Chains A and B, each alone.
Chain A
Amino acid sequence: MIQWGYTINQPRAVNLDRNDLTAARRIIRQMPELQACIACGSCTATCTAGNLTQFNFRKVHTLVRRGEYEGAYEEMNKCMLCGKCRLVCPRGINTRGVVMLIKRELGEY
């Protein structure tokens, strides 16, 4: 099975003209270091939850930053908050803080 996004089952463009970026901006304002992500994928490679299920931390937070919030809360709930991702992140991002922040900001989605 090809895994597109997470709950998205039809291909569609990330439309930055239409997406509401308010929540994304709020998240980035609270954690500016998240913008330093260079998408190396170390977090996802080492992820304890990602080893057992289709959870991709890097992809979820990247989509959130693009204003694609649907399903992000449920996805982040797969995280076990074990902290391995934080240990391997070459940019020193507080990844566990990112998980908690996204869940706090996107609880209603």
Chain B
Amino acid sequence: MNFYDGFIIPFVVGCAVLFTVVLYKYVRWFVRLPAADKRLVRRNFFSMQTLRGIGEVFSECLLHRRIFRVNPLLGYMHMSLAFGWFLLIVVGWIETIAYLGGRLVPIHGHVFFKYFSTSLPHHPVWGIDFSSVMDALLLFVLSGVLLAWFKRLRSRAMGLRRTTKHTLGDRVALSALWFVFPLRLLAESLTSAIFHNGGFLTGAIGDALAAAMPLRTLSTLESSAWWLYSCALGVFFVSMPFSRYMHIFTEVPLIFLRRWGIRSGEKPKSFDHFQLEACSRCGICIDPCQLQRDAGFNNVQSVYFIRDRRYNMLRPEVADNCLMCGRCEQRCPVGLDLNTLRLNSRSRLHDTPSDRRYDYTAGIDRSSGTGKTGYFAGCMTLLSPKILRAMERIFNASGEEVWWADREGGVCCGRPLKLAGETNAATRMMRYNEELFRRHGITTLVTSCPICLRVFREDYRLEGIEVLHHSEYILRLAKAGRLQIEPGEELFTYHDPCELGRGCGIYEEPRELIRCAGKLVEPAETREEALCCGSSVANTALNDLGQQRIARSVGASLGETGADAIVTACPLCKKAIARGTDRPVYDLAEVVERHLA
């Protein structure tokens, strides 16, 4: 049997380019992995994680389980394209084996089997009617293509208010992909019109075509159709490694590397490439972004940030314009560490040598009081004296002796600087505060600022010191009976600060405390889905008007609950939300203070 015809050339060339480029990229990224990451691979390669990775590859790369959770129709679209195409390839190979046994068949022989197998008898093998099975799979994929076309017109129906704006390369690849399957249907139907070897779909279309035109026209059209089909495949394969479709392959190594424990860090490294190129630019991150829906920015969302970084055209205006609230990360179907990637991009843009920075902090100690429990107000709390006073009364009411770290002014925790990308310099501030905490021998460190809390927990070396947010600390006092909170009738709603909720996973403690003091009603978007106040220190690009717009939108959303007052647990959120609502905004500590027995 002959497996050669002129039209296979575009396909074969496309395949060769695709596999060469992909292989080159993987080898390069893999070789450049830091030694520590390579050690992780060696240590965890033979472990349960690898098996779990295989399961994840199946459920995410093929079935797209996480996209189903965003929207079932969108999930179906991705699944039919990925899983359908995968099955077409696998069943195609089985088909060739069924017909030809163990004979070596070149790769294009499998893909264009319908064209080359016209001389074979057309009947089921192993009791399977392969033509119809392949037709059914083709129909499955075509339904996905139809949905993709539909999504361009009516994305809202598929759960996306806004879709990604694509680059030229993406458009070429996308167009080629859209044509691949309709052309396959056409080519196979035309072959079937001449040789009557089609299944229920290609056969039926083939018969209709055969009835409509003479044999000569059919064979001219057949040859053109196979050429077009092969060209579409070739174009798609060549553009694939340079476009969004690189994600098809890259998500697989990403899943395994992640399973083996490799993570992106505050400095860029080779593993980031796997994350960047595993982004399919599906655009699911666009809708949750408040910079898009409230402040009118349409080019800074994670999908665009990753695209810009991948093609080396990242500008500070894009890298810096992000609240790092984590709402997109929460939704990302590929599970990319979008905030960490953003952070290490900033570090590459802004980090400067900092050998002598903040030397002026040496020897400064403005702390006061003595006690095993330390309280770090944080810069923002110093501008919210109601929180400070509430904390003081709570400490007094519970009889706690407190060491006040920074009431008379201290050194910033370092997280704002780190979030801006100046990781080296931030470390110097962290070391100062660590040393301060140790010198005063505290065993518990309480802070009312979630920004400080997060950096204390993630970046400080505070062995032997328990770090608590004031919500955790006050609840603990209440449970131990050291604090009596009298219930009231007021109806509160609670705003989850990003750094406290998505950042530190603290959702329950503040709610439990609020329920001690009054009634609680949840806003529409809450907990993991909570909105950002808009004044996040992570964004150094957003202007005042943008912050106000977001605050008004958050204020409106919290106001819709009908609550008498808004409660939050972050001094910055409190200030920000107060600008966007007429209702009173309290910190959790103030609410507790007002209900102290």
A33 is an interface residue with CB less than 8 A from chain B: yes
- Chain A residues with Cβ under 8 A from B354's Cβ? 77
Measured CA separation A103–B537 after assembly (Å): 18
C-beta contact mask, B349-385 vs A, less than 8 Å → 1, else 0?
Answer: 0101010011011001000000000000001101100
B177 is an interface residue with CB less than 8 A from chain A: no
Q: Of residues B379, B380, B425, B572, which shows the largest number of chain A Cβ atoms within 10 Å of its Cβ?
A: B379
How many residues of A are in contact with the other chain, CB < 8 A? 25
B411 is an interface residue with CB less than 8 A from chain A: yes
B320 is an interface residue with CB less than 8 A from chain A: yes
Residue in chain B with minimal CB distance to A73: B352
B429 is an interface residue with CB less than 8 A from chain A: yes
Measured CA separation A83–B320 after assembly (Å): 15
- Chain A residues with Cβ under 8 A from B320's Cβ? 97, 100
Measured CA separation A82–B418 after assembly (Å): 10
Q: Are B380 and A87 in contact (CB under 8 A)?
A: yes
B196 is an interface residue with CB less than 8 A from chain A: no
Q: Are A81 and B544 in contact (CB under 8 A)?
A: no
Q: Are B411 and A80 in contact (CB under 8 A)?
A: yes
A25 is an interface residue with CB less than 8 A from chain B: no
Chain B interface main SS type = loop
Measured CA separation A53–B357 after assembly (Å): 12
Known: A52-B409, A78-B357; 19 extra A-B contacts, CB below 8 A, are: A46-B383, A48-B412, A49-B360, A77-B354, A78-B358, A80-B412, A80-B416, A81-B416, A81-B417, A81-B540, A82-B379, A82-B412, A82-B537, A84-B380, A87-B572, A93-B544, A94-B540, A100-B320, A100-B350
- Chain B residues with Cβ under 8 A from A52's Cβ? 360-361, 364, 409, 411
Q: Are B382 and A84 in contact (CB under 8 A)?
A: yes
Considering only residues 57-101 of chain B, those with a C-beta below 8 Å from chain A are none
Measured CA separation A96–B382 after assembly (Å): 18
Considering only residues 522-569 of chain B, those with a C-beta below 8 Å from chain A are 537, 540-545
A1 CB to closest chain B CB, in angstroms?
15
Measured CA separation A42–B160 after assembly (Å): 44
- Chain A residues with Cβ under 8 A from B316's Cβ? 100, 104
Q: Are B409 and A94 in contact (CB under 8 A)?
A: no
B194 is an interface residue with CB less than 8 A from chain A: no
Considering only residues 40-68 of chain A, those with a C-beta below 8 Å from chain B are 46, 48-49, 51-53
- Chain A residues with Cβ under 8 A from B361's Cβ? 52
- Chain A residues with Cβ under 8 A from B409's Cβ? 48, 51-52
B472 is an interface residue with CB less than 8 A from chain A: no
A88 is an interface residue with CB less than 8 A from chain B: yes
B515 is an interface residue with CB less than 8 A from chain A: no
B589 is an interface residue with CB less than 8 A from chain A: no
B551 CB to closest chain A CB, in angstroms?
12
B26 CB to closest chain A CB, in angstroms?
35
Interface size class of B (residues with CB under 8 A): 20 to 34
Q: Specify which of A46, A88, A96 is in contact with B540 (CB 8 Å cutoff).
A: A96
- Chain B residues with Cβ under 8 A from A96's Cβ? 416, 420, 537, 540
Nearest 3 CB-CB pairings of A with B: A92-B544, A82-B412, A82-B379
A108 CB to closest chain B CB, in angstroms?
12
Residue in chain B with minimal CB distance to A107: B352
Q: Are B416 and A82 in contact (CB under 8 A)?
A: yes
Q: Are B383 and A100 in contact (CB under 8 A)?
A: no
Q: Are B360 and A84 in contact (CB under 8 A)?
A: no
Measured CA separation A81–B352 after assembly (Å): 14
Q: Are A100 and B416 in contact (CB under 8 A)?
A: no
C-beta contact mask, B413-442 vs A, less than 8 Å → 1, else 0?
Answer: 010110010100100010000000000000
Q: Are A83 and B360 in contact (CB under 8 A)?
A: no
A107 CB to closest chain B CB, in angstroms?
8
Measured CA separation A46–B383 after assembly (Å): 9
Q: Are B380 and A83 in contact (CB under 8 A)?
A: yes
Measured CA separation A80–B415 after assembly (Å): 10
Q: Are A94 and B379 in contact (CB under 8 A)?
A: no
Measured CA separation A104–B346 after assembly (Å): 12
Given contacts A82-B412, A96-B537, A97-B541, contact A87 B357 (CB under 8 A): no
B258 is an interface residue with CB less than 8 A from chain A: no
B575 is an interface residue with CB less than 8 A from chain A: yes
Measured CA separation A96–B383 after assembly (Å): 17
Measured CA separation A107–B243 after assembly (Å): 35
Q: Are B416 and A83 in contact (CB under 8 A)?
A: yes
Q: Are B380 and A104 in contact (CB under 8 A)?
A: no
Measured CA separation A97–B354 after assembly (Å): 19
Considering only residues 1-29 of chain A, those with a C-beta below 8 Å from chain B are none
